[in-house]
Amino acid sequence: MTGIKAKLASLLTFRDQYKNLGVKLFVIYGAIAALPLACIVSIGYFWLYSISWEDFHQRLQKQTEDVSQSLDFFLREKISGLRLVSSMARPEVVTNDAALQGILQLMKQEFAEIVDVGVIDSKGTQIAYAGPYNLKGRSYSDHDWFHEVSVRDTYISEVFMGYRKIPHFAIAVKKLIHGGASYYIWRITIDVEALNKRIHSVSLPEKDDVFLVNSQGIIQTASRLSGSVLQPSFVTPGMLPLRYTTAEIRTIPHQKKTIGYMYLRNTPWILVMTTARQTHDMIVDFLRRDFSLISLSVLLILIGIVANYFMAQMVVSWIETSDKVKEEALRQTEHADKLASIGRLAAGVAHEINNPLAIINEKAGLMRDLVKRAPDFAYQDKFNAVVEGILKSVDRCRTITHRLLGFARQMDVMPEILDLNTLLRDVIGFLEREMTYRGIHLELELDDDLPAIESDRGQLQQVFLNIVNNGLDAVKDGGHIGVRTFRKDAHTISVAIRDDGHGIPPDTLERIFEPFFTTKGKGKGTGLGLSITYGIVKKLGGDIHVESELGKGTTFIVELPTRGFVAEEGGE
């Protein structure tokens, strides 16, 4: 029994195992498919990232360089203008404010941002001035810029407030006079607004910024995000190494921004462009532009997942089917083995009993013969009755052993022409004693016009013995068992075996032919009987089904082909 329970348990866990197998296959196939996909996606991403990174940097660099160039051009223009003016100006202009005023007006026509113009002599004194402030006579001799311009000929100042409280910067050029013996310095100041206009002539995304700082990181021109003019910015002294010809790209991690910067030649300024945009923003942009590509990929992946799921299911179902076929074959073999060994045992027993039975038979017969020859024997009648009793018992034993031998002989499949009604009578005869003991009524309705069928006698005996036995188990003492044979159609004969027992509940009915399924108590049934029965009927080319109603009884219907079995055997 424990073996059977273990088998039952293993049958149950099989279902979970197939489920697990399905999940495993799904995951493994998924992984196998996903791995190269993930590689391709990763490679694609990094490739896209590097292209985007390069593109992003190049753009920032280009923008920075463009602005730088524009500023450079702007400043050169001013310097050239100032040089031209200083060269062309008549000598008396440097002492004549009115003439200088005229020059300022002329210059303003070209460059409206110029605020004022002044001429400073080699001693550092402003000897002429035209502009809105009164700066004539002011001495710059102790200013750094004055010394610088004396040496370098040209000078551009940082942005400062000065006296005017408006941020501005100065450009100064040196003009040699008296054949180089002395010089004047021409100086103009320009409103920072001029630089702002120049710088912001490029249109920038919202989070981007562009401005000038000095080497100390003080903001020189209007900035959107980094602070106001003359305030310190995030640029610290020494943070940005010198770069003149090309813009340099830096990422500033804690600010989450990327900057492009360039030192402007001959100025104290560094041009800084900042952007909060990151490389992955570019990728997102790119992917957003190619939305159909993404949709297609997602769709393909979904199709892949669904296909994978169905494939896993299909493989599992193949395996399950093949396992079931194998199991069934194994079961059939086991049954055949079991039946064969029972058969051999039965044959052995029957044979061993037949010999002593024959002796009893002959001895009793002789006794009767002898007594018949002694007519004056007082107890002749009594004696004959006793001998008759012995011979009857011998006869009964003979019936049993011959039947056992009959069963035993039929373990191998042996098709023969047989009469189903006779076969059924044989089987019922085997169970007659039990029925009589229990007062069970047998109702036989055998159609006498049944054709002989070609089938296996022993196996059919096994089938009907099993079904009738089940019926006997189901009915109460005094119940009814009915056996009916009839022609279903030209090629099929039906046998209906009916009992008025307790009936079978629907959930049991579904599993009634399953191996090892039993409702009988522990040790009473192997749960193999009906499954063997089912297997045999199917093997014989027939069919078996069962109808049952709780409390009313059960009917097993076996349908057998008149010739089909032989055809099937031949086909194997």
Partner 1 sequence: MGRPKVLIIDDEAEFSTTLAERLALRDYEAIAPTSLSQVRSLIADELPDVLLLDLRMPGLNGLELLRETKRTNPGIEIIVVTGQTDPGIVTAAMEAGAYDFMIKPVDLSKLMEKIDEVTSRQRDRQTNNGD
Retrieve residue 59's tokens: 């753009």
Q: Dmax of the chain from CA atoms?
A: 195
Cβ proximity to partner 1, 197 vs 409, nearer residue: 409
- Strands of 323-371, DSSP E: none
Least Cβ distance, residue 376 to partner 1 (angstroms): 18
Least Cβ distance, residue 397 to partner 1 (angstroms): 8
What dihedral do alpha carbons 45, 51, 56, 61 form, nearest 10°?
150
Least Cβ distance, residue 334 to partner 1 (angstroms): 24
Cβ proximity to partner 1, 358 vs 417, nearer residue: 358
**Residue 414: how many CB atoms within 10 A of its CB?**
12
- Strands of 317-400, DSSP E: none
Q: Counting beta carbons within 10 angstroms of the beta carbon of residue 68, is it exposed (0 to 12), middle (13 to 18) or buried (19 or more)?
A: buried
Cβ proximity to partner 1, 371 vs 442, nearer residue: 371
Sign of CA dihedral 498, 501, 503, 508: negative
Least Cβ distance, residue 368 to partner 1 (angstroms): 9
Cβ proximity to partner 1, 362 vs 445, nearer residue: 362
Retrieve residue 376's tokens: 């004056």
Least Cβ distance, residue 470 to partner 1 (angstroms): 29
Retrieve residue 570's tokens: 């031949």
Least Cβ distance, residue 352 to partner 1 (angstroms): 8
Least Cβ distance, residue 464 to partner 1 (angstroms): 22
- DSSP secondary structure of 456-483: EHHHHHHHHHHHHHHHHHHSPTT-EEEE
Least Cβ distance, residue 29 to partner 1 (angstroms): 56
Rounded CA separation 467/478 (Å) = 18
Footprint of partner 1 (CB under 8 A): 347, 350-355, 357-363, 365-366, 369-370, 373, 394, 398, 402, 405, 408-409
Cβ proximity to partner 1, 251 vs 399, nearer residue: 399
**Residue 487: how many CB atoms within 10 A of its CB?**
14
Rounded CA separation 364/346 (Å) = 26
Cβ proximity to partner 1, 100 vs 350, nearer residue: 350
**Residue 48: strand, helix, or coil:** helix
What dihedral do alpha carbons 142, 147, 149, 150 form, nearest 10°?
120
Cβ proximity to partner 1, 249 vs 405, nearer residue: 405
Least Cβ distance, residue 358 to partner 1 (angstroms): 4
Q: What is the 3-state secondary structure (H, E, C) of 412-462?
A: CCCEEEECHHHHHHHHHHHHHHHHHHHCCEEEEECCCCCCCEEEEHHHHHH
Cβ proximity to partner 1, 78 vs 457, nearer residue: 457
Cβ proximity to partner 1, 12 vs 359, nearer residue: 359
